[in-house]
Amino acid sequence: MTTTDFSPDTLNTIGVLGAGTMGHGIAQVFAQSGLTVHLVDNQPAQLDTALKAVDRSLGKFVEKGKLTSEQHSDTLSRLHIHTDIDVLAGCDLVVEAITENEAVKIDLFRKLDALCPAKTLFASNTSAISLTRMAAATSRPDRFMGMHFMNPVPLMQLVELIRALQTSDATFNAIKSLSERLGKTPIEVRDAPGFVSNRILMPMINEAIFTLYEGVAEAEAIDSVMTLGMNHPMGPLKLADLIGLDTCLFIMKVLYDGFKDPKYRPCPLLTQMVDAGYTGRKSGRGFYQYD
Ligand SMILES: NC(=O)c1ccc[n+]([C@@H]2O[C@H](COP(=O)([O-])OP(=O)(O)OC[C@H]3O[C@@H](n4cnc5c(N)ncnc54)[C@H](O)[C@@H]3O)[C@@H](O)[C@H]2O)c1
């Protein structure tokens, strides 16, 4: 295969693996851009929830006059759900968005590597795990990179594009063009713990949790200081609930293990909340209560 085979025009059928908080949003933006999408999750209930969430999100765009009803239904018709990963063998690009756990992701990429033809590009939406290590677990490390979407995916402009050490220029350029086709703004970064986004964001969230843990202020007060005083659109504790406290804890552990610096130690309250199953919005309880 030559580098010209990586033209973004050849990336027409997209697999999205994992239909949780991020996966359904990623599937939506690809389908909205006219691409055929196969969304795969091993939990059927997650797929049902994902389809409803996409339908709701598209409906809001229609209400705001940003999409027509026809575009709404066309987008849904391009989005297919599956519990079996075999369908991904026919995809030009697979974007992985499963739970933030390195061993589980690597295991899945090995399976995908055996399943997909050599031309298929792989991307991971990981928040912090080394792309270089994940790429090395496949037989196509040059065709592997990070495609880090932000939450909520249909609304957020940024896609942080992370080059593994092995990522080829052809792969990078194809994914960059594809990101632009989605209407996103791709920003190039290199592989390092937490990349740029979470190396800066997560220690701030962790510090907000320490502030709550030490009784300096209540959750609402901490968030209000950051929204009213720093013009952040959302306070750090509310944002942690949106991201998922399990994901936040995992990212702090990646930073701590990666840099061996105590400034990245996760707050004990964060660990306890995750141990209790209070993972934020997705579980109905985090620093706030949700319906
Ligand atoms: N939540 C955020 O704000 C955010 C932002 C950017 C990146 N990320 C990253 O995106 C990824 C997904 O995070 P999320 O918040 O959507 O997680 P989530 O827990 O909401 O969803 C994960 C999904 O993966 C599915 N899954 C797990 N193992 C699977 C397997 N072996 N095969 C098929 N499906 C499987 C689960 O059933 C679940 O639906 C993580 O790597 C996370 O770090 C999250």
Instruction: List residues bridging with 189 in a β-sheet.
Output: 162
Q: Which residues contact 103 (CB under 8 A, 6 or more apart)?
A: none
Centre of ligand 1 to C-alpha 275, Å, is: 18
Q: Does domain 3-190 sit in CATH 3.60.15.10?
A: no
CA distance 123 to 161: 10
Is the separation of the CB atoms in 126 and 148 below 8 Å?
yes
Is the separation of the CB atoms in 21 and 151 below 8 Å?
yes
Q: Is the CB of 198 under 6 A from ligand 1?
A: no
Residues of the chain with CATH 3.40.50.720: 3-190
Residue 5's identity, in one-letter code, is D
Is the separation of the CB atoms in 97 and 23 below 8 Å?
yes
Strands 93-96, 13-17: pairing is parallel
Residues of the chain with pLDDT under 50: 1-4
CA neighbor of 30 nearest in space, from 190, 187, 178: 178
Give the residue, by CA position, lying nearest to ligand 1 atom 38.
Answer: 20
Residues of the chain with CATH 1.10.1040.10: 198-281
Is the separation of the CB atoms in 50 and 199 below 8 Å?
no
Q: Which of 127, 130, 168, 197 is catalytic?
A: 127
Q: What is the pLDDT of residue 2?
A: 44
Please say if 197 is a catalytic residue.
no
Please say if 139 is a catalytic residue.
no
pTM over 0.85: yes
Relative to the CA of 149, which ligand 1 atom is closest?
Answer: 6
Centre of ligand 1 to C-alpha 33, Å, is: 22
Cα dihedral across residues 63, 69, 73, 74: positive or negative: negative
Give the residue, by CA position, lying nearest to ligand 1 atom 2.
Answer: 243
Residue/partner pairs of 216-222 with CB below 8 Å, 24 or more apart: 219/287, 219/288
Q: What is the pLDDT of residue 7?
A: 61
User: Domain 198-281, what fold?
Assistant: N-(1-d-carboxylethyl)-l-norvaline Dehydrogenase; domain 2 (1.10.1040)
For the CA atoms of the chain, what is the radius of gyration? 19
Is the separation of the CB atoms in 149 and 125 below 8 Å?
yes
Question: Where does the chain show beta strands of DSSP type E?
Answer: 13-17, 36-40, 79-82, 93-96, 121-124, 144-149, 158-163, 185-190
Is the separation of the CB atoms in 98 and 129 below 8 Å?
no
Q: What is the pLDDT of residue 5?
A: 54
CA distance 133 to 254: 13
